Each structure stands twice: as structure tokens, then as C-alpha cells.
Amino acid sequence: MRIAFFSDIHANLPALEAFFKDVASENVDAIYCLGDLVGYNVWPNEVVNAIRKRNIPTIMGNHDEALLLPILQESKPSNKGLTRALVTNENRDYLINLPRQLSLNFVTDNEPFNLLMVHGSVKAINDYMVIDYPEAEVLQMMNSQKADVLLCGHTHKPFHRVIKSDNVFKHVINIGSVGKPKDGDSRLCYAILELNKNTTPSNPEAIKVTFKRATYDVEKAAKAVENSEFSTSYADALRIAK
């Protein structure tokens, strides 16, 4: 089975459209979204509509969660304030009612193998799961949820980390960002996870993880920011992927 995971679109419609085009060529069996559909750009509704139209299972990100807050009077428009003004009431209702976690449970040779999807970490929706996150804390989080694989986003920096714990192997996969990469590569990023007959917790190579990069019209997205009330620093960040 091949499953695609993507996250952190941040209202970047050109990047999302390029993602859909790229993933269509990958012959995946399922697609999941790990949140942060909105923020930083001018297409929050178009992004939400595109994901809803495809019935893609999606969890809440911290920028989606921010829509739970009441509208504030701002002397200088903020990212969250501008986003709230753009998002329709229907799409806001969708975003603020998204689940905060999703899990997938598999069994091979009578051995369960569990995938857990979060946005930040098990601890918090805005926790930064970086590659050198303390091992003991990662294991505590995963064991508390009986997870063999922890899939997350939020940092916008992809990695696959394998941690040996007794006689099993735990996998932490940060899937990167479609709409706002921060690893110096301006191309969109998502992950494809492959499971097979050898997918068991005791196998260190239980899964194959591929990080897919694809080009999109970065300049179109950057110009949209510059022609809006959003800070021009967000346009610069798209160009240099920082």
C-alpha cells in the first residue's frame, strides 16, 4: 500500500494545484492532510474548497485552530486577522471542527502496526517535532498512543528518524510543507509511505519513505502576497524557502 501525506499548504493555491498534479502520477492508494490549510496568503477558501471537494481526510493545524479565536480589532493587520477576514463562515466551521489526530491500524502476521497523524506532536498542536527531539520524550509520546509511526508537519522541514526501543523500531516522519517550505528548497514537499508484507514493528525496514519534491509557480504565490495586506516578508520566505 502506498499512502501520500501532505501538510502546511498555508493558502498557497499554486503549490496545492502542483501537488495534486504530481501526486496523481504516483498511483497512491490514499491521501491524508496534516493541517494548516490557511495563513500567510490570499487563497484560504480556494485551498479548503479543493481539499473538501476531494474528500481528503484532514486534521487540524495550529493556523486552522487560530480561527477558534474571536475577531479582534487590529491597528495593524496581522496574518491571523487577515486570514480570518478572508475565510468564509462555512470554511471556518469546517476548519475549527477538524479532528486533532487520525490513526491507521494495520495487522501483518498477527502483529499490529499503527500509524498516528498529528500536526505538531502528541503533546501539542504547535509543538515542533524536529529531528533531534529528545528520544525519551518521543518514545513516551508514541508509546502512550501505541504508535509505531508518528507522522507530523508544522516545522516545514522533512525527515525520517528511526528509533530502536527494546526489540522494536519506531518511525518519526516529518512530511515537510507543500505551501511554505523552510529547508532552503522552494519546491513543494510531501511524503509517500509504502507498507508491505514485511511491515511489522520488529523490522527496521518495515516502511519505505519517499520525500517527493515538485516545482510550482513560486513567483505567482509571492506576488499574490505582495499585492495584498500580508507582510511582504512572507513573499521573500517563499522565494528562499526559509
Q: What is the pLDDT of residues 186-207, one digit of tens each?
A: 999 999 999 999 999 999 999 9
**Cα dihedral 79, 81, 87, 92 sign:** positive
Radius of gyration of the chain (CA): 18
Q: What is the mean pLDDT of residues 89-114?
A: 96
Least confident of 27-31, 44-48, 79-83, 108-112: 108-112
Region 232-236 average pLDDT: 97
Starting at the earlier edge strand, list the strands of the sheet with 2-6.
Answer: 30-33, 2-6, 188-195, 207-214
Cβ neighbours of residue 106 closer than 8 Å, sequence gap 6 or more: 112, 113, 114, 115, 195, 199
Check if the beta carbon of residue 7 is closer than 8 Å to that of residue 175: yes
Tally of CB atoms within 10 A around 100: 16
Determine which helix (DSSP H) or strand (DSSP E) holds 211, and give its type and residue range. strand 207-214
**CB atoms inside a 10 Å sphere around CB 86:** 18
The answer on pLDDT for 76 being more than 90 is no
Which fold does the domain 2-240 belong to in CATH?
Answer: Purple Acid Phosphatase; chain A, domain 2 (3.60.21)
DSSP for 1-62 reads -EEEEE---TT-HHHHHHHHHHHHTTT-SEEEE-S---SSSS-HHHHHHHHHHTT--B---H
Q: What percent of the chain has pLDDT over 70?
A: 100
Query: Is 75's pLDDT higher than 90?
Result: no
The lowest-confidence range among 15-19, 106-110, 141-145, 230-234 is 106-110
Per domain, the residue ranges of the chain are 2-240
pLDDT in tens, 146-182: 999 999 999 999 999 999 999 999 999 999 999 999 9
Q: For residue 11, is pLDDT > 80?
A: yes
Residue 51: pLDDT band (50, 70, 90) is very high
CA–CA separation, 181 and 132 (whole Å): 19
The beta-strand segments (E) located in 78-148 are 102-108, 111-117
Among residues of the chain, what percentage have pLDDT more than 90?
95
- CB count within 10 Å of CB 190 equals 27
Q: What is the pTM of this model?
A: 0.97
User: Tell me, what's the pLDDT at 72?
Assistant: 72
- Tell me the three state secondary structure of residue 65: helix
